[in-house]
Every structure is written in C-alpha cells, then in structure tokens.
Amino acid sequence: MRMWWFITTLVITAAFICNSPAYAYDNNPLQDICVAVSDSEASVFVNGNICKDPKLATSNDFYFPSLNISKVVYPNYGIGATFVGVQDMPGLNTLGMSICRIEFEPQGHAPLHTHPRATELVTVLEGTLYVAFLVPDTANFFYSRLFSKILYPGDVFVFPRGLIHFQYNVGDTKAVVFGNFNSQNSGIVTVPSSSFASQQLIVDDILALGFQLNKTEIAELRKKFS
C-alpha cells in the first residue's frame, strides 16, 4: 500500500511540474536576432544593454527634452517623427516601454507595418487620422478582418502586438499623435519596403506570385522603394 501511494504521488508531482508554466517558458525577445556564441567576451546582456552602476545614475538618465520637435523626416510618406527609446533615455532600460511623436502632413501616412515586440497605443493631439489594423481570419489565413476608426483630438486607439496596421491623415491640416509601446525595443517591419527593398533582394517570381503582379510591375516597385 505504501509503495502504491508513493508511485501515485510521484506521478502527480511529475505531471504538475511538466505542465506548470511557472517552471519553463521563454522570455519575450528584446531584439530581432540573437546568435548564440560560446565566447564569453562576445556575450550580450539579456536586455541588450550594459547596466550602469546605480550609484552613478543621474536624473538626466530618466529625462528626454523636445519631444515636440520632429527629429527624423520621411518626405516620401509625409511624416516627421521623434522616437524615444533606451538610446535616447537610458533610464528606460528594462522598464519595458518607449514612446514616439509623429506629425502627419495632409495625406501623410505611416504605411502598412508591424511592431513584432510591442502593442502600440496612440493618442491624437491634433488633426484627423484614419487608423486600422488587420486580424488574420482563423478559418482562412489568406483573409483578414479590418478594424478601423477615424480619430479626432483626444481619441485613443490601440494596435495589438505584431498585427499589421497603418495611420493616414484624412484631414486638411497637420495631424499629431503620441505613440506608446509596451517594449523598450518595439521593432518595426514596414511591409512595402521590406518586400521590395531588402538588402538581399527577394526573387521576382516570389514577389510576382505573392502580390499577383507581373515582373515589369515588380521592377517598377523596386525603383520606388530603392
């Protein structure tokens, strides 16, 4: 009888350990790739940054000025942006958050893109913005459902992590938004430029089949995104 109870207890304990999520899980990735190396001198910290001695930290590590100024301009898309991450505010390291401010000229847009490591929450400060994201159809992955909304000053909208989305200024005046991310390194993958302007080009046959275009049209798109 004692042996039977011992075996039963062992089986139950083993089943609990194997199925309990508290014992084994993968952390969310903090960068696009992380190649394993055996050389300790070439190792990278889990958060991708070396942490400063806390005694040497200052208030400026947790401060960023002039978020109201567009530091990067993308004329082809009619937008200007300022992104605040760990490189700009070192105190964000390991806190799992970052922020950006984007100005949209009339008809300016953030093209179809995803953030592989973050959910994005946008708040409109000025203007009128058309925003949307796509959710794959679980029954047929060739289709998707569009969630869209026209936003006005004070409106808030959220883009779930990893889903393709866009923003488009449908007004006649400038639109300004704040974007908040629940990652210090949200990542960004733009669908058009990633498809047609990768450093090692995707072969024309693949693009032609995927986008249902001919090779002449593919060549024209390469010129536009090069």
**Binding-site residues for oxalate, please?**
115, 120
CA distance 100 to 68: 10
Task: State both tokens at 208.
Answer: 């032609």
Whether 120 contacts 178, CB under 8 Å = no
Assess contact for 179 and 165: CB atoms under 8 A: no
* DSSP for 21-52, written as a single string: TTT--PPPPSSS-----S-GGG---TTSSPPP
The token duo for 190 is: 């733009």
CB atoms within 10 A of CB 53: 6
Instruction: Output the six-digit token pair for 139.
Output: 């029954």
Expressed in angstroms, the distance from the first to the final Cα of the chain is: 76
Q: Residue ranges for the binding site?
A: 113, 115, 120, 165
The label of the residue with tokens 């950006």 reads: 100
Name the β-bridge partners of 169. Answer: 129
Q: Which distant-in-sequence residues (6+ apart) come within 8 Å of 198 by Cβ? A: none
- Whole-number CA gyration radius for the chain: 23
Residue with tokens 């909208």: 157
Which residue ranges make up the annotated binding site for Mn(2+)? 113, 115, 120, 165
